[in-house]
Amino acid sequence: MRTFWGLMRAYWFSDRWKEAWTLTFVIALLTALSSKAGVWFAVALGELGNSIAFLHDAANTHPLETILTNAGILVLLVVLKDAGFTGIRNLVSTTLHRKWRGWLNSQFNQALLDGNHTHFHAQHGSATGGIVAPDNIDQRIQESIKDMTGGAIGLAMGVLGVATSLYFIGENLIGSSVEVKGLEFLGSYGTAVLAFLAVAIYVPLNTWIAVKLGRLLERLNVRMQQAEGNYRSELITFLRRSFHVAASHGEGVQKSMHDRLYVDIDKTWSRLNVVNTSYTSFELIYNFVGARIVAYAPGLVSFIHNRLDYKGYITGSEMVAQLISQCSWFIHVMPAIATLRANSQRVTELANAIENVQRPQEFYQQTGRSDFSYATQNPVFGLTIQKLELAHQGEDATPFLGAANLRFRRGEWTFLKGESGCGKTSLIKAINGLWPYGRGTIVFPQGVTNFYAAQEVKLQQVSLKQLVCLPGSESDHSDTQVAAALHKAGLGDFIEHLADESREGKIWDQVLSGGQKQKLVVARIILQQPGLLFLDEATGALDPEGKIAFHQAIKDNCPNVTVISVMHEAVPPRSLAGEEFYHSVVSIADGIATKKPLAPSLPRELTTILAQPRPVEDKWLRFRRLKQK
């Protein structure tokens, strides 16, 4: 699906080919019937015109009855053609549209949300490296695919309509053709030849004009989609950070940003309106000239010389008008073609971006050094990091963090310490394969699951049970297990809402506070029982007591877990009894990460006293008595 035609045919050669081809066959059949009905309509229109023309003829014994009968037949044909064949075809084509779009949507969802973290890597392009990340991926999947599939089906039906019309109308024109004075060498095919010649000259010439305008429409459509996508993306981001804007009184800056983005929409829209108006005017003139002048010209000479009666002249002219109309589908749908090409370009760009990052290291090597190696070993040896260097984009970028040899044994809790910006979070990302540039070897304990807990917790719009069961499915755990995990994490008040996707009209992301969201992460950890746990400032929204409870819940319920944690605090928290949660510390200074055991703690008696809520004087007296003993 990385090219236009590959994208167009993918559905018809997928595992749902039977569905695709069945709907296509029904549409083709109804299109052919509609074209045939168009011939019947032209004949009936000629009969009606003839009955009106000879209304006062003495040979016409039942003039009113003839007119009413022909008019009734014409109405029935219109109903059959438009409400029958065309109406049913519209229903079938919209069904094909829905099925095709659904299939394409599922393909892109699967590709983006694979185990390769494609959705993450696809957003890390670099203009300097010649790799541009696709903008507004949400718009490409939601709007571009929808408009592209609908436009393609409409165009395909137009092409099919031209083919069937050429066959049925052409057959009738040839059958009713007569000799033309001055062109006797053509014999009885004179009017038919003139009709086909008129169509062959008039339609291509105007199609060339339509193509020129269509290319301009295509470029403007692409620009319009980009501008609309950028504005919508900023609105979504703004609504997510609404509190921060309000707290900082940043409405003025936000408004100016919105105004600036909308100026791009307005300017592009203005140009698009001018081109669309020009095209509409061109199409209206083209339709009138084609249907009322060009269509009536081929049979005019024969009608003047009385070689063609009025009925034959009207019928033939109406057929030529229909043939011009059908052959002009390219002109009629040029704006739709421009939109189709713009949408398909947006979709194929996304498909190419997805394909480019299927091998992340090869992708990042185009814009910098990326040589990470990941392996597994016996879980007894824990997690090992060897010769690790982290850098930013660029072949010559100097590493900002290095670690020669770090080993984290099973069940060990390690605290990452260093100044802000020294690379603590980058180190955790690199271990999890989420840092693009650098080199090194990371060896995981075999058969051990990982869990990454970040500082900012964003909750999807699903049930509370599903939120706790992530990254697994809610069917993986019973309600009792999930309820127990919530209780241990300090969210027991929400147990009765396990099946709810919202509470009081608000989704869980809006219901839970920052601290409660981080407690929800604890519930996930307790339920999932990971072997490796990465805490990336995962307690930032908790108060000191909450941080202790956070760690204690993990310590009590995940006895063999290996924890690697980043926190703002210079000293890691201890339990209420004064015992250390952490066994070691990785210090990052001057771009070098070194690991050592945590400094010995104070005597347990003292830490126990310090943990008790007593006045300072009482603690000091208690300490002196203990020393005397």
Using one digit for the tens of pLDDT, what is the confidence trace for 279-307? Answer: 888 888 988 888 888 888 888 888 888 88
pLDDT at 626: 44
| Of 142, 113, 156, 147, the residue nearest 9 (C-alpha) | 156
What percentage of the chain exceeds 70 in pLDDT?
92
Secondary structure (3-state) at 491: coil
pLDDT at 600: 58
Confidence of residue 34 (pLDDT cuts 50, 70, 90): confident
Sign of CA dihedral 378, 379, 382, 388: positive
Residue 279 CA to residue 218 CA, distance in Å, equals 13
Element (H, E) at 481: helix 479-489
The tens digit of pLDDT for each residue in 75-126 reads 888 888 878 888 888 888 889 988 988 888 888 888 888 888 888 888 876 6
- Are 213 and 334 in contact by the 8 Å Cβ rule? The answer is yes
Write down how long the chain is.
629
pLDDT at 624: 45
pLDDT at 621: 39
Place of tokens 């993306």: 233
Residue 51 CA to residue 45 CA, distance in Å, equals 10
- Are 393 and 368 in contact by the 8 Å Cβ rule? The answer is yes
pLDDT at 534: 94
Half-sphere exposure of 332 toward its Cβ, with a 13 Å CA cutoff?
A: 15
- Are 138 and 233 in contact by the 8 Å Cβ rule? The answer is yes
In 435-561, DSSP assigns E strands to 438-445, 450-453, 502-503, 506-507, 532-536
Element (H, E) at 482: helix 479-489
Residue 51 CA to residue 71 CA, distance in Å, equals 10
pLDDT at 390: 94
- Are 428 and 535 in contact by the 8 Å Cβ rule? The answer is no
- What are the Cα distances from residue 621, in Å, to 326, 603, 609? 102, 16, 11
pLDDT at 616: 41
Cis before residue 471, ω within 30 degrees of 0?
A: yes
Half-sphere exposure of 104 toward its Cβ, with a 13 Å CA cutoff?
A: 32
The tens digit of pLDDT for each residue in 526-536 reads 999 999 999 99
| Of 596, 595, 585, 525, the residue nearest 560 (C-alpha) | 525
The answer, as to whether pTM is greater than 0.85, is no
Secondary structure (3-state) at 442: strand
The pLDDT of residue 45 is above 50: yes
Residue 226 CA to residue 223 CA, distance in Å, equals 5
126 DSSP 8-state letter: B
The DSSP annotation for 386-435 comes to EEEEE--SBTTPPPSEEEEEEEE-TT-EEEEEE-TTSSHHHHHHHHTT--
- Are 35 and 141 in contact by the 8 Å Cβ rule? The answer is no
What is the residue type of 588? I
Secondary structure (3-state) at 135: coil
Place of tokens 């105004």: 259
Average pLDDT of the chain is 83
The tens digit of pLDDT for each residue in 129-171 reads 566 777 777 777 777 787 788 777 777 777 777 788 778 877 8
The tens digit of pLDDT for each residue in 554-604 reads 999 998 899 999 987 778 889 888 889 999 999 999 999 999 998 655 444
The tens digit of pLDDT for each residue in 444-491 reads 999 999 999 888 888 888 899 999 998 888 889 999 999 999 999 999
In 312-369, DSSP assigns E strands to none
- What are the Cα distances from residue 361, in Å, to 49, 358, 372, 438, 573? 74, 9, 8, 10, 37
Alpha helices in 80-131 (DSSP H): 87-112, 118-121
In 434-561, DSSP assigns E strands to 438-445, 450-453, 502-503, 506-507, 532-536
The tens digit of pLDDT for each residue in 501-521 reads 888 888 888 889 888 989 999
- Are 52 and 46 in contact by the 8 Å Cβ rule? The answer is no
pLDDT at 551: 93
Residue 1 buriedness (CB in 10 A; 0-12 / 13-18 / 19+): buried
Dihedral, CA atoms, 423, 426, 432, 438, nearest 10 degrees? -90
What is the residue type of 337? I
Non-local (6+) Cβ contacts of 451 within 8 A are 524, 525, 528, 530, 532, 533, 534
Question: End-to-end CA distance of the chain, in Å?
Answer: 80
- Are 180 and 297 in contact by the 8 Å Cβ rule? The answer is no
Non-local (6+) Cβ contacts of 14 within 8 A are 20, 103
